Amino acid sequence: MSDVTGNHREGAFQRAFAFAAGTPAIATLFGCVVLLVAGQSIAPGFASLGQIAGQLNVAAILALVAAGQGIVILSGREGIDLSVGATMTLAALLAGNTMNGQDGGIAPALLAALAAGGFVGLLNGLGITVLRIPPLVMTLGMAGVITGLLIVVTQGQSSGSTAPSWAAFVTRPFLFGLPGVLFLWLLIIVLIEAGLRYTRFGINLYAVGSNDFAARLAGISVGWTRILAYVACGAFAGLAGAVLLGYTGNIFLGSGEQYILPGVIAVVLGGTSLAGGKGNYVGTAAGAFFLTLLTSFLTILSVAPAQRQIIFGVILIGFMLLYGREKATR
């Protein structure tokens, strides 16, 4: 009997381990804890609540970009949006010029940012579904066009500025000592997870992403589902741009560039398959937090930037080796 219980216990432990290793969100969160502990031992205060709130604050911007990216990747057929960086800059510049330092302009500015992002997403979606341009190429070309447009309009100058209340919402403590943008992020996590599970669009998205032929046979409008995914991605990039404006105060050309590929990495670290149809947003959010923590952890190590860059790359590959692996060819 004792033998059996022993076996049972071992089985449970193994199952728990397998669950953790097989659930990227949990593995990534575990990675976050490891980073916090290691950081705390090197630089006391790294894992203090205030610091963690600050890290979450930075992670929120990345997580917003990654939210849209995740939806596009879920929609399958090599779905990816490399125009999110340019879209962020566009939306942030629009929002900054609409607000122009006035609190009264916050609502129209947010609407403008979301609409501009959504419109870019619509163009991407149409190009990809109607003209059948590969997503990588379409969104890359779109990024070039938006950046070019911004150079013409802004003449390369930084313009617009955030409203004080919007900056405070993004950076200052709002409730329980946490900035308002974290509550916005929490709300978005809940909304996306619920949207993916319970709305028609969410369910269709998984169906289209895992097998679009079967989805079409089941009567799902594959084209519209994909277009909507890109519109959502653009809108999230727009929102992220507005938050970036609140965080940094003003926006330069190229402000959004640095979020493009880290956003994709956050999605992958969160366990979403680049093949589409498999993944969730909780994992992506954890991935964004992990990337942010990793960046600041490497900053507190007294290592030169170039070496830091190498370590960052090696850790990314290490994490992918853990669970970023695709099914074996048989």
Residues at the site binding another protein, with contacts judged by CB under 8 A: 78, 80, 127, 131-134, 136-138, 140-149, 151-152, 155-156, 261, 264-265, 268, 274, 304-310, 312-314, 316-317, 320-321, 324-330
Nearer to another protein, 12 or 137 (CB): 137
Shortest Cβ distance from residue 12 to another protein (Å)?
29
With respect to another protein, which residue has the nearer C-beta, 26 or 140? Answer: 140
| Complex with another protein: residue 38 or 133, whichever CB lies closer | 133
Q: How many alpha carbons fall within 13 Å on the CB side of residue 255?
A: 30
Q: How far is the CB of 94 from another protein (least distance, A)?
A: 17
Name which of 203 and 311 has its Cβ closer to another protein: 311
> Is the CB of 78 or the CB of 103 nearer to another protein?
78
CB 252, CB 51: distance < 8 Å:
no
Structure tokens belonging to residue 273: 């398959």
Three-state SS letters, the chain: CHHHHHHHHHHHHHHHHHHHHHCHHHHHHHHHHHHHHHHHHHCCCCCCHHHHHHHHHHHHHHHHHHHHHHHHHHCCCCCCCCCHHHHHHHHHHHHHHHHCCCHHHHHHHHHHHHHHHHHHHHHHHHHHHCCCCCHHHHHHHHHHHHHHHHHHHHCCCCCCCCCHHHHHHHHCEEECCEEHHHHHHHHHHHHHHHHHHHCHHHHHHHHHHHCHHHHHHCCCCHHHHHHHHHHHHHHHHHHHHHHHHHHHCCCCCCCCHHHHHHHHHHHHHCCCCCCCCCCCHHHHHHHHHHHHHHHHHHHHCCCCHHHHHHHHHHHHHHHHHHHCCCCCCC
Which one, 5 or 329, has the nearer CB to another protein?
Answer: 329
Least distance in angstroms from the C-beta of 92 to another protein: 18
Closest approach, Cβ 126 to another protein, in A, equals: 11
Closest distance to another protein from the beta carbon of 58 (Å): 19
* Beta carbon of residue 56, minimum distance to another protein (angstroms, whole number): 24
CB of 164 to another protein, least distance (A): 32
Closest approach, Cβ 51 to another protein, in A, equals: 25
| Closer of 128 and 196 to another protein (Cβ) | 128
At which residue do the structure tokens 């071992």 appear?
A: 10
Residue 198 or 330: which CB sits closer to another protein?
330
